[in-house]
């Protein structure tokens, strides 16, 4: 089955002949990127006759400094999706297993099958968290990758430092542990693990990050991997040349430097989570504890049908029937007005 993205606003409006819709279906930043990123794009546009810098020199240098790692410990790609693809290409072959909690990021089974390998899905625990004991118990001689989104998508839940340390310690060395930290910048729990620090303890570990969420650059497609220079060298061999375009490179570097803007996006997100939680409580609805920029909401039976009805209000949330979550919807944090609109439409449709 192909990856199903959140419905674009333009598509919904074309289909229903409406306008002013809000998209809360793809965990995007509700506010745009840093002005500095936009200005960097305009300045770089004059040179689009040239191929990009294949080494991503300026972006690599800035990130390496900020993270305290060597430049050779980084590999860039078209979103963290691009890195997942490289991991599959380098480390999965027919007959191999890739292990991951489920439900989790929809691309994990797709990248695994694309390499001819087998996805092995380990159910989340009752609080929708990755079950580290069950993951470790599911490892077999065929297991090559363990894909762990922390915080997890579509649940927003995370695992703490003790659980992560256990994985780092007990997962056999020959299994590559992939810590996908797409939502890292939104995390508030005090005991959130540092996957970056664990790179000092474990050779077969790779950390994934992205500019799509807290840097508000989803449209440009920049993600990266942090790992040992040796492991990174394999990803570098497998990637396409010039994979990160020149506008994306300058915008990502500018966004990285604009810490005030990133802090603003985190604040809008945290305020939005509080607003959504309060509104959902008022409606008597349960939701999972989220460390990300979205909430998993239990809306009752026929959640996918409810999501279809929300579309008529111009509100796009994410149905999760495909994940086996037939009583839940995922809603991304929007602006104050967008969140309000979601809550109001939900209240109307649940009364029907
Ligand atoms: N990992 C997780 C857990 C995600 O939720 C997403 C985005 N939905 C990605 C990776 C991919 O993000 P991108 O390719 O935009 O970096």
Measured CA angle at 151 (ends 124, 316), to 5 deg: 90
Between residues 4 and 279, which one has the greater pLDDT?
Answer: 279
Q: Is the pLDDT of residue 17 over 90?
A: no
Give the tens place of pLDDT for each residue, 106-130.
Answer: 999 999 999 999 999 999 999 999 9
- The minimum-distance atom of ligand 1 relative to the CA of 152 is 3
| Cβ–Cβ under 8 Å, residues 252 and 309 | no
Q: How far is the CA of 51 from the centre of ligand 1 (A)?
A: 26
Give the tens place of pLDDT for each residue, 295-317.
Answer: 999 999 899 999 999 999 999 99
| Cβ–Cβ under 8 Å, residues 111 and 238 | no
Give the tens place of pLDDT for each residue, 225-248.
Answer: 999 999 999 999 999 999 999 999
Between residues 3 and 97, which one has the greater pLDDT?
Answer: 97
Q: How far is the CA of 95 from the centre of ligand 1 (A)?
A: 26
- The minimum-distance atom of ligand 1 relative to the CA of 104 is 3
Q: What mean pLDDT do residues 142-156 have? A: 98
Residues within 6 Å of ligand 1 by CB: 27, 79-81, 105, 149, 153, 180, 182, 210, 212, 218, 223
State the pLDDT at residue 117: 98
Band (206; pLDDT cuts 50, 70, 90):
very high
Band (19; pLDDT cuts 50, 70, 90):
confident
Q: How far is the CA of 308 from the centre of ligand 1 (A)?
A: 24
Q: Is the pLDDT of residue 158 over 90?
A: yes
d(CA 205, CA 61): 22
Dihedral angle computed from the Cα positions of residues 145, 150, 156 and 159, in that order, rounded to the nearest 10 degrees = 110
Give the tens place of pLDDT for each residue, 243-263.
Answer: 999 999 999 999 999 999 999
Q: Is the pLDDT of residue 18 over 90?
A: no
State the pLDDT at residue 2: 83
Q: Is the pLDDT of residue 1 over 90?
A: no
- The minimum-distance atom of ligand 1 relative to the CA of 222 is 16
d(CA 352, CA 347): 9
d(CA 170, CA 158): 19
Q: Is the pLDDT of residue 200 over 90?
A: yes
Residue nearest to atom 6 of ligand 1 (CA): 182
Q: What mean pLDDT do residues 167-171 have? A: 98
**What percent of the chain has pLDDT above 90?**
93
State the pLDDT at residue 276: 98
- The closest alpha carbon to 212, from 27, 9, 21, 8, belongs to 27
State the pLDDT at residue 258: 98
d(CA 229, CA 247): 26
| Cβ–Cβ under 8 Å, residues 73 and 229 | yes
Band (4; pLDDT cuts 50, 70, 90):
confident
| Cβ–Cβ under 8 Å, residues 328 and 287 | no
Q: What mean pLDDT do residues 140-168 have? A: 98
Give the tens place of pLDDT for each residue, 31-87.
Answer: 999 999 999 999 999 999 999 999 999 999 999 999 999 999 999 999 999 999 999
| Cβ–Cβ under 8 Å, residues 182 and 153 | yes
- The closest alpha carbon to 156, from 306, 281, 328, 2, belongs to 328
d(CA 75, CA 55): 9
Band (5; pLDDT cuts 50, 70, 90):
confident
Average pLDDT, the chain: 97
Q: How far is the CA of 25 from the centre of ligand 1 (A)?
A: 13
Q: Is the pLDDT of residue 293 over 90?
A: yes
Band (20; pLDDT cuts 50, 70, 90):
confident
């Amino acid at each position: 089955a192909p990856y199903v993205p959140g419905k674009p606003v333009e598509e919904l409006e074309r289909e229903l002949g409406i306008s002013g819709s809000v998209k809360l279906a793809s965990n995007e930043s509700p506010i745009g990127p840093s002005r500095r990123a936009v200005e960097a794009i305009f300045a770089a546009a004059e040179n689009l006759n040239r191929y990009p810098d294949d080494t991503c020199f300026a972006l690599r240098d800035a990130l390496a400094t900020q993270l305290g790692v060597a430049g050779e410990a980084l590999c860039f790609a078209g979103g963290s999706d691009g890195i997942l693809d490289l991991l599959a290409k380098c480390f999965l072959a027919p007959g191999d297993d890739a292990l991951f909690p489920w439900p989790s990021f929809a691309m994990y089974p797709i990248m695994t099958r694309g390499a001819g390998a087998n996805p092995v899905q380990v159910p989340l625990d009752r609080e929708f968290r990755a079950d580290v004991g069950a993951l470790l118990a599911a490892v077999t001689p065929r297991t090559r990758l363990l894909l762990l989104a922390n915080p997890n998508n579509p649940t927003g839940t995370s695992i703490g430092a003790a659980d992560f340390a256990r994985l780092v310690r007990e997962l056999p060395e020959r299994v590559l542990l992939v810590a996908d930290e797409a939502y890292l910048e939104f995390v508030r729990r005090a005991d959130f693990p540092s996957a970056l620090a664990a790179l000092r303890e474990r050779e077969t570990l790779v950390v994934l990050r992205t500019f799509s969420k807290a840097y508000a650059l989803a449209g440009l497609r920049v993600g990266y991997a942090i790992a040992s220079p040796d492991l990174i060298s394999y990803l570098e061999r497998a990637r396409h040349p010039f994979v990160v375009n020149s506008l994306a490179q300058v915008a990502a570097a500018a966004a990285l430097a604009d810490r005030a803007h990133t802090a603003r996006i985190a604040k809008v997100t945290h305020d939005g989570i509080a607003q959504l939680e309060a509104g959902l409580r008022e409606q008597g609805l349960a939701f999972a504890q989220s460390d990300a920029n979205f909430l998993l909401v239990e809306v009752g039976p026929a959640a996918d049908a409810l999501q279809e009805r929300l579309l008529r209000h111009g509100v796009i949330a994410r149905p999760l029937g495909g994940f086996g979550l037939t009583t839940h919807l995922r809603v991304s944090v929007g602006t104050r007005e967008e969140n309000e609109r979601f809550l109001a439409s939900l209240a109307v449709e649940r009364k029907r």
